[in-house]
Amino acid sequence: MKLLYALRFLTVLPIPYRENENLQDVARSTIWYPAVGLLIGGALYPLALIPPGWFTPQTAAVLILALWTVLTGGLHLDGLADLADGLGGGRTREEKLSIMKDSRSGVFAVLALVVFLLAKWALITELLIQDYPRALLIAPTAARLAAMLSILRFPSAREGGLGAMFKQYSRTREPVIGTLFCAAAAWLFMGAAGIAAAALAVAAVLLMADRISRKLQGLTGDVYGAVTETAELLVLLLIPIAARIIPI
């Protein structure tokens, strides 16, 4: 059941809500976040194995990026855009949170989306050219671990927000098991290089989350989305570098 909750929160799979949901189980579904990330990566990976004669790496990267976005419903990209607008357009904490809640997109949101999507496409292309397709399995897994740790580590910026509920019912086992799962997956697919890239990416986005939390006096759902997108991008960037330093 907790896996279904995690899939419902993190993907577009049509898993219906029920009346009188068990909030404790919903909150503790974070333990499955890295596993859901691995499932997303598993859906992307076959596209990276398309024979070179069929598509160029650039075209294959477009297909991968499109499927990646569809599977998550653009949820994390929406959070990234809202956060960019809030931090870029608001002066006070209240202004930033108000702008982030506004459904309209401003200049900062558009710029953030364009830069992130172009960067992600370019990095996927490089991974395909350099023959590191297994990075597509590690990136979404590590990113969902980063989202889980951000939810559990930092306070909620809004009273009654999802972050507050998750923190209320969370236990030590969720982040511990999630971290072990992510480390095992990274080791299985790319050895020590995979673990190094995932660990550096997660550490970097937690530092980013800490800075944002200081500005907003907590985190929101938009920040969790931005954390996820940033972690994915960093893993894609760091995998080739780690693979050159640490033999796979």
DSSP element (H, E) containing 52:
none
Radius of gyration of the chain from Cα atoms?
A: 18
Reading the chain (248 residues) residue by residue, the pLDDT tens digits are 677 878 888 888 877 766 666 667 677 788 889 999 999 999 999 999 988 788 899 999 999 999 999 999 888 899 899 899 888 877 888 888 888 887 777 788 899 999 999 999 999 999 999 999 999 999 999 999 999 999 888 888 877 666 666 766 666 788 899 999 999 999 999 999 999 999 999 999 999 999 999 999 888 888 999 999 999 999 999 999 999 998 76
Tokens read off for 12: 């577009």
Name the pTM for this structure: 0.92
Contacts of 2 (CB under 8 A, 6+ apart): 25, 28, 29, 31, 32
Contact of 39 with 72, CB cutoff 8 Å? no
